[in-house]
A and B are shown apart, each in its own frame.
Chain A
Amino acid sequence: MRNAAVGKFWAIFFTAVAVLAVAVCVVAPDYGWWFPGDGRAHSTLGQKIDDLFYLILVIVAVTFIGVNAALGYILWHGASLPSDKKALFSHGSHALEVIWTIVPAGILLFIALYQMDVWAQYRIKNFYPKTMEPVAEVTARQFEWRIRYPARGKKLMPTPQPDDVYTVNDLRVPTGHPVSISLRSDDVQHSFFVPELRVKQDAVPGLVIPVWWEMTDIGSFELVCAELCGWGHYKMKARVVAMSDEDFEAWKSQAAQEQFYDGVSTKDGELVSQSEQE
């Protein structure tokens, strides 16, 4: 009799662990234990990546719940049997083996084929959007992000131009259509990671790597280095600021004006000090 109680306890215990895991998973988004920011991806491709993630999550969840329900049932059932009844012992079932090999293989094959589209759009040039605006060259260096934009109305050139606009740790991009950056590194390997866009790409010394995305929302998002690049890695943080097209153009004009400030810009013919101007 005592053995039956212990067996039932373990049946409940293991079922409870599984239930707890599922419950934590369900409430996680409300407690901010989920994706960074508001939990949504803020780029079009990021949303597709999230869709893939959720698809896999559903498959895994169904499997997990099924397996644990079966486990709980078997433990409970075994504990409820009269103690004089002999346990059923079986060894090998060809049919069962075939089933649980073919079903997971089929699922894996399905995932492998299903995600190819997103992967291709993310990484393979031929599948990039037909029109996209190269907005800036982003150069990672220990321990900051230096950014070079073409002048307003001009195209981004592979080498610096006299009228380029520069910022540091502040990447501004227009929203609503695909944009791309040329990613470079000045020194060691870094990684350009914007969690809320689901964009991550290593910056490799000697390579210029195009990275594209399309912002879906206006806002400011954190850009961090995701490749341990030295002792100051932790402070290699910047922001990606998504702006409307008009704001982006206006910002660029203003940034250019500040950058070409000669200390004399006159206001009513009088010298204007720097602090007043800014």
Chain B
Amino acid sequence: MIRMIMSRFLIKSAWIAVACLAAVSTGCVPNPSAEFAWRDSTTDLIKDARSSLQNTVNENFGTPDDLVAWERLPVNYGGIKGTVAAAPEGTELTPGEFAFSHEGEGEVKPGDTVLWLSGEMAGKEATIQSADAATHLISLKAGTAPAEGTTFAVNFGDQLQLGRMVYMKNCLHCHGVAGDGAGPTAQYLNPRPRDYRLGVFKFTETLATERVTRDDLWRVIKYGIPGTYMPSFLLLDDHETTAVVEYVRWLAMRGELEKRLGDELTDYSQTSLTDQYNKAVESKKAAEAAGDKPEAVPSMSSLRNTAKDDFKEYAESDYADTVDSTADFIAENWTRADDPASVIHPAVARVADTPESRARGRLLYLSDRTKCYTCHGNTGRGNGGATEDFWPKPGSTEKYDARGLHDVWGNPLQPRNLRLGQYRGGRRPVDVFRRIYAGIKGTPMPAFGGTVLKDEEVWDVVNYVMSLPFESDASPSPAPSTKMAAHPVQ
């Protein structure tokens, strides 16, 4: 009897074990492959336009698992670039052997891949059998070496791939696979993580019209952004940081290309078709009301067919040029950002941080030349009158639902409370100078440098603003100060 109970018990336990194993193993399915999500404006396009745009972006950027390095973009994809050199005198080279010279650091190792960048074999790859750093000779596993002067890259794209790895590990869960600021944890954060796809970054050292520099991104990754959820990644290796900076720039360029091409194609979107249809219906109604002979309303499908035909024509005539000029535009802008001429350097050293300078800064702060107080408030608490208004959306007369300021990403934005001593873009005086000089990109903070304020005056404002966290007698009462702000001269 006991034996029977025991065996039943054993059978039961065996079943439980099998069930547990099954449960565990189903939890072990491989992750779904990562995908770059498309903008809503892209998925809104009619089928032909959408697939053209998606093909263009995919051809030039690839997918997260299969990156494409587009040479015309100013991205440092990594790898060693070299040139096939003349054979050294007195050396007999086999067909697969060649001498080379290379730029920059790095070592060519057996098993590495060579990508020919010029000559007859441009775009083709070969594997290295052996490489000698001393004699500068490479021999290939198969095939013949190209002519002297051919340029090549070894392990081209290494840096971008490392960047992707670092990004996937540390950045993706907030900033999203495509850098759209919509990762799984993004919804819990305020402020929202940056969406790179406009090519706009807030805290830069460049002029108001320029994009972000590599140095800026480097600093943000190393030191984080206090007051937001962007933490410091100080302990990443320098080469990892460099790589992830390139990857973020690359994602931003990808997003920009998609956005700009999408903007060119808005005529071929569902929204545009619906608009046309609604307009036709309305004009028909108006005509009927006026007693005129109404025009027939075209059906949605005929509108779609017209758009399809129009796009076909556009695709054959102009699309390639549009892609070309957009890519040029993006490449030029990103190249210019890293030009030293784009970086703001104050014309004069910091004006001595004296009570007089602060007083001058305070008057400027409260003046109608700068209107700082309208957003940051009379006492610098970030509670100016502008935070109580309803503001129109950019490029339209429609207003935001919520009171207060918004950034170009459509998120509500609090003007900074200057009394917290928290400096998101860095606390060095030059950082604050640049914030005032060039404004904060993507936000209503305007640029004052060069036009409204002289550099000395910007420094006065910097001195005043940086003294605010240590000022104890600020009147917090808003009512009388609003009156004062209206007549700053009296």
Contacts and interface: CB of A to CB of B under 8 A. Distances in A.
B427 A166 contact: yes
A260 interface: yes
A262 interface: yes
A268 to B, nearest CB: 15
B424 interface: no
Task: Give the interface residue-count category, chain B.
Answer: 20 to 34
A262 B433 contact: yes
Contacts, number: 76
A62 to B, nearest CB: 39
Interface stretch (A40-48, A110-118, A123-131, A229-237): A229-237
Among A170, A236, A260, A262, residue most surrounded by chain B Cβ atoms (within 10 Å): A262
Given A260-B429, A261-B428, A273 B340 contact: yes
A262 B349 contact: yes
A274 B235 contact: no
Interface stretch (A138-146, A204-212, A242-250): A138-146
A44 to B, nearest CB: 26
Contact of B232 (A142, A169, A266, A274): A169
A169 B234 contact: yes
Interface stretch (B80-88, B222-230, B283-291): B222-230
B224 A168 contact: yes
Contact of A264 (B226, B232, B233, B348): B348
Q: Is the interface of B mostly helix, strand, loop or mixed?
A: loop
Interface in B329-364: 340, 343-346, 348-350
Contacts of A237: 235
A263 B421 contact: no
A239 B237 CA distance: 13
B310 interface: no
A262 B231 contact: no
Contacts of B226: 146, 168
Interface residues of A, number: 31
A262 B346 contact: yes
A238 B235 contact: yes
Contact of B350 (A160, A166, A169, A262): A262
Given A160-B421, A235-B170, A262 B430 contact: yes
B190 interface: no
A37 to B, nearest CB: 16
A3 interface: no
Contact of A144 (B232, B433, B466): B232
A264 B234 contact: no
B132 interface: no
Interface of A: 142-144, 146, 160-162, 166, 168-170, 231-232, 235-239, 258-266, 271, 273-275
Given A232-B231, A264-B350, 6 more contacts: A144-B231, A160-B470, A262-B346, A262-B349, A273-B343, A275-B215
